[in-house]
Structure 1
Amino acid sequence: MADVEMTAASDADWVRVTSDDGYSFLVRRKVANASETMRDMLDTAGNYAEAIARVCPVQQRGVIVEKLLEYMSFKAHYADAGPRDEIPVHEFMDRIPPEIVLELLLAADYQNM
């Protein structure tokens, strides 16, 4: 019985993020909460279908959703960094292909990141 309760509790920590072209990504809820839009979707007090199913559809191509999630992971990882901590922003920036920058910027704006 304890194993079932532990499994249910750990499952709640994961969220599925889907793209328009059929890609699906599993991320920790902490990472999904880096987006205000996803945080609102996953708020259980709102009784949204996304919160119940723990699935956030993002109306973007998979490559854009992947980069959004990379940034959200980066942001969640460094959320507790102090003002004097070195945050390797260029490490993330170097992984963004120039041909998707504008589309990624618009998607990030919609996600309120």
Structure 2
Amino acid sequence: MPEDATVQASDSEEWVRLTSSDGYDYLVRKKVALCSGTLRNMLSSESRFSEALSNKVPMNERAVIVEKLCEYLIYKSVYEHAKKNEEIPDFQERVYPEISLELLVAADYYDA
């Protein structure tokens, strides 16, 4: 296998495609997606889920919810190893009140 093909293969495995119920796709790095317990189980190489082979996860959530979940997973990935004295911005300020309940249910399901 040529070196370029190896680099391209590893690059494509770094990304996960999350698809909302209304057909919108979101690409996130795999390390970010693994911040969700449910997605981690789905994408585990030991699992026999099709998501683990394709790096594509269909989600039963509207696009606005999937987008906020992605945003939160990125936030979690960035700040999970923050130092104790480091100031961490409040994520709650980014959540629109009209989607907060739906987002809370989705976050619980995806163990985010």
TM-score interval, smaller chain: over 0.9
- Alignment-derived partner of residue 17 in structure 1: 18
TM-score of the two chains, using structure 1 as the length reference: 0.94
- Alignment-derived partner of residue 27 in structure 1: 28
Where do residues 25-64 of structure 1 align in structure 2 (5 Å cutoff)? 25-64=26-65
How many residues are treated as equivalent by the alignment? 111
CA offset at residue 61 of structure 1?
A: 0.4
CA distance, structure 1, for counterparts of residue 29 and residue 107 of structure 2: 18
1:109 aligns with 2:108: yes
Letter in 2 for 1:80: H
Q: Which runs of 4+ in 1 moved over 3 A?
A: none
Q: Could you give the per-residue CA deviations for residues 17-63 of structure 1, whole angstroms, max 9, x where no partner exists?
A: 01111011000001101110000000011121000010111111000
In structure 2, the residue corresponding to 1:73 is in which secondary structure?
helix
Where do residues 81-100 of structure 1 align in structure 2 (5 Å cutoff)? 81-89=82-90, 92-100=91-99
Letter in 2 for 1:97: Y
Runs of at least 5 residues in structure 1 that lack an aligned partner in the other structure: none
Runs of at least 5 residues in structure 2 that lack an aligned partner in the other structure: none
Structure 1 vs Structure 2: percent identity of aligned residues?
47
In structure 2, the residue corresponding to 1:17 is in which secondary structure?
strand
CA offset at residue 98 of structure 1?
A: 0.6
Letter in 2 for 1:79: E
